[in-house]
């Protein structure tokens, strides 16, 4: 029904999809798997029309199609249910389902709301649930919002529907209900593409599975003809025996700078305990939605834990706030540097010295000379490539922006560094530089927590790694044990 032949797509410096060929049958649930950076997200965006391919052909029901937009894809019968649902919060369910469609307009150009609402209710009724379609969708729970997104995707006689991590925000009951709906759609002849990191879901719901690695097609098999271990092995491309691991040279001392005991935050993470020592780089990783980022935010007081205790520099923190974290020499580098880490219109100098304004100001006046000298010192120390200290931070590359954020915390003499996805969107050369800085922080006696979804990054930077699954600790590996296949085995629950 849907055939992909020799699909290619490149972005500056990377070939995201490289000569991919496979087909999806009518009425099947087809899992598309690959680790981060495998190219699966780019491929489904090509299928849906969000991206245009560089080469190859897409054939739907014997018709070669070239999609120019997601709207064009919907018109051809290809819908997508995104992990971040594409609904308008202030519109009601019925309005969201038929947004952009003109089928309910009368001769005068006015919308026949009654006919639209009846059709919306008919679509939702197929799912066996009751949803108030007359209230803004922002007032509905995530699972009901997702059902509205599915109804939107199938509202144009969909032939193909793509599900991107559909259970990431659902509990077990909600996930099972979703699987029932997916089976109904498949039985009705709709082809479903499922992207998920949860391998147990693949064997529960999918008919066939296609694996991708480094932008290339690896294999397509019936789910009954492949094991979980074979999938994980195919995702890594090497066997555990073929990997040679050289442990990072640890500078760890026996001084605990951070101690977390049974900390919990709703259903996001539960009863997580760990210690972080001076001179150590501890990694936290897991599949999407594992809770690692929220743990990092909890240590900086952004997420408020429900129970458990956090001890920083031997002090039990009764009320964790960002102010309390900074007082205890904690530095937080967010995964979203442009929104949470930088003043993009501010100068390089102003961003670097931001954390020191309160200490350097006297009688309301800032010591501009000291500010300039210290900023220049950090630019040299971290090799930040700038035209000048007055250059706007927003004009710099991602790598140099990340170095500026590190610089402001180094100036503050932080001792505990929390880095979330520290090299996201950074070129490979600068990525290596950031990794060296992380190792140097530990060598200089800091404690470093790295939260990353990139297994290679965890291996390159960390002395020890904690692996999470659905907000709980699934395993812990030393630097010597951190080979890619072993880590993925633990992440996917193979061992």
Structure tokens at 127: 């799912």
Closest CA to 441 of 406, 477, 482: 406
User: How many whole angstroms separate alpha carbon 2 and alpha carbon 414?
Assistant: 54
Question: What is the predicted pLDDT for the residue at 428?
Answer: 63
User: How many whole angstroms separate alpha carbon 175 and alpha carbon 274?
Assistant: 30
Does residue 239 have a pLDDT over 60? no
Question: What is the predicted pLDDT for the residue at 171?
Answer: 66
Structural domains in the chain, CATH included, are 2-237 (3.40.50.300), 256-492 (3.40.50.300)
Question: What is the predicted pLDDT for the residue at 244?
Answer: 46
Question: What is the predicted pLDDT for the residue at 427?
Answer: 66
Mean of the pLDDT values across residues 347-369?
A: 86
Mean of the pLDDT values across residues 392-409?
A: 90
User: How many whole angstroms separate alpha carbon 493 and alpha carbon 210?
Assistant: 20
User: How many whole angstroms separate alpha carbon 323 and alpha carbon 15?
Assistant: 43
User: How many whole angstroms separate alpha carbon 461 and alpha carbon 281?
Assistant: 7
Mean of pLDDT over the chain: 88
User: How many whole angstroms separate alpha carbon 343 and alpha carbon 36?
Assistant: 29
User: How many whole angstroms separate alpha carbon 317 and alpha carbon 164?
Assistant: 39
Read off the pLDDT of residues 124-148 as tens digits, 9 standing for 90 and up: 888 888 899 999 999 988 788 888 9
Angle CA 398–402–407, to nearest 5: 145
Read off the pLDDT of residues 163-205 as tens digits, 9 standing for 90 and up: 988 886 676 677 888 899 899 999 999 999 999 877 888 999 9
User: What percent of the chain is modeled with pLDDT above 70?
Assistant: 95
User: How many whole angstroms separate alpha carbon 390 and alpha carbon 386?
Assistant: 9
| Residue 170: C-alpha distances to residues 59, 226, 350, 358 (Å) | 33, 27, 42, 44
Per-residue pLDDT band for 242 (boundaries 50, 70, 90) equals very low
Mean of the pLDDT values across residues 426-452?
A: 89
Mean of the pLDDT values across residues 457-468?
A: 92
Structure tokens at 483: 């080979």
Does residue 276 have a pLDDT over 50? yes
Q: Are 423 and 431 in contact (CB under 8 A)?
A: yes
What is the signed CA dihedral for 199, 286, 426, 456, rounded to 10 degrees?
-80
Q: Which has the minimum average pLDDT: 14-23, 140-149, 374-383?
A: 140-149
Question: What is the predicted pLDDT for the residue at 481?
Answer: 81
Question: Which of 11-20, 40-49, 147-156, 452-461 is modeled with the greatest confidence?
Answer: 40-49
3-class DSSP assignment, residue 123: helix
Q: Are 465 and 283 in contact (CB under 8 A)?
A: yes
Task: Specify the DSSP class assigned to residue 339.
Answer: I
Where would I find the H helices in 188-238?
199-205, 228-236
| Residue 277: C-alpha distances to residues 15, 31, 256, 311 (Å) | 40, 41, 4, 12
Name, in order, each residue with C-beta under 8 angstroms of 356's C-beta and a sequence gap of 6 or more: 371, 374, 408, 411, 412
Read off the pLDDT of residues 22-74 as tens digits, 9 standing for 90 and up: 999 999 999 999 876 688 888 999 999 999 999 999 999 999 999 999 889 98
Question: What is the predicted pLDDT for the residue at 247?
Answer: 54
Q: Which has the minimum average pLDDT: 218-222, 311-315, 457-461?
A: 457-461
Mean of the pLDDT values across residues 397-420?
A: 92
């Amino acid at each position: 029904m849907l055939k992909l032949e020799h699909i290619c797509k490149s972005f500056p410096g990377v070939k995201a999809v490289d000569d991919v060929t496979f087909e999806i049958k009518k009425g099947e649930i087809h899992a598309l798997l690959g680790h981060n950076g495998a190219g699966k997200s780019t491929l489904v965006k090509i299928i849906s029309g969000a991206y245009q391919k560089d080469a190859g052909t897409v054939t739907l029901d014997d018709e070669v199609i070239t999609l120019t937009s997601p709207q064009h894809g919907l018109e051809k019968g290809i819908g997508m249910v995104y992990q971040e649902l594409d609904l308008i919060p202030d519109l009601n369910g019925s309005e969201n389902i038929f947004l952009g469609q003109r089928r309910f307009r009368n001769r005068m150009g006015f919308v026949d709301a009654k006919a639209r609402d009846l059709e919306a209710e008919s679509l939702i009724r197929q799912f066996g649930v009751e949803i108030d379609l007359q209230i803004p969708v922002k007032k509905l729970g995530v699972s009901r919002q997702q059902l509205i997104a599915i109804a939107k995707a199938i509202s144009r006689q969909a032939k193909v529907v793509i599900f991107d991590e559909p259970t990431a925000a659902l509990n077990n009951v909600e996930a099972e209900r979703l699987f029932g709906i997916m089976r109904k759609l498949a039985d009705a002849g709709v082809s479903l593409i499922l992207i998920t990191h949860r391998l147990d879901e693949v064997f529960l719901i999918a008919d066939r599975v296609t694996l991708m690695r480094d932008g290339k097609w690896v294999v397509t098999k019936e789910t009954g003809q492949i094991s979980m271990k074979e999938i994980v092995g195919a995702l890594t491309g090497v066997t555990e025996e073929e990997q040679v691991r050289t442990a990072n040279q640890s500078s760890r001392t026996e001084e605990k700078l951070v101690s977390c005991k049974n900390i919990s935050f709703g259903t996001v993470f539960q009863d997580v305990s760990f210690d972080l020592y001076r001179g150590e780089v501890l990694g936290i990783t897991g599949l999407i939605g594992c809770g690692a980022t929220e743990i990092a935010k909890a240590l900086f007081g952004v997420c408020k834990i429900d129970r458990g205790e956090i001890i920083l520099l031997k002090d039990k923190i009764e009320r964790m706030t960002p102010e309390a974290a900074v007082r205890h020499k904690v530095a937080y580098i967010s995964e979203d540097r442009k929104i949470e880490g930088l003043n993009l219109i501010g100068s390089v100098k102003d961003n670097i010295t931001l954390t020191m304004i309160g200490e350097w100001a006297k009688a309301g006046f800032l010591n501009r000379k000291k500010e300039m000298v210290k900023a220049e010192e950090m630019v040299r120390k971290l090799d930040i490539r700038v035209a000048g200290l007055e250059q706007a931070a927003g004009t710099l590359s991602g790598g140099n922006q990340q170095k500026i954020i590190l610089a402001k915390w180094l100036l503050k003499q932080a001792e505990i560094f929390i880095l979330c996805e520290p090299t996201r969107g950074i070129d490979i050369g600068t990525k290596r530089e950031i990794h060296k800085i992380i190792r140097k922080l530990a060598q200089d006696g800091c404690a470093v927590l790295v939260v990353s979804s990139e297994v290679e990054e965890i291996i390159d930077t960390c002395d020890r790694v904690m692996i999470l699954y659905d907000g709980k600790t699934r395993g812990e590996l030393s630097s010597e044990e951190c080979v890619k296949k072993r880590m993925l085995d633990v992440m996917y629950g193979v061992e």
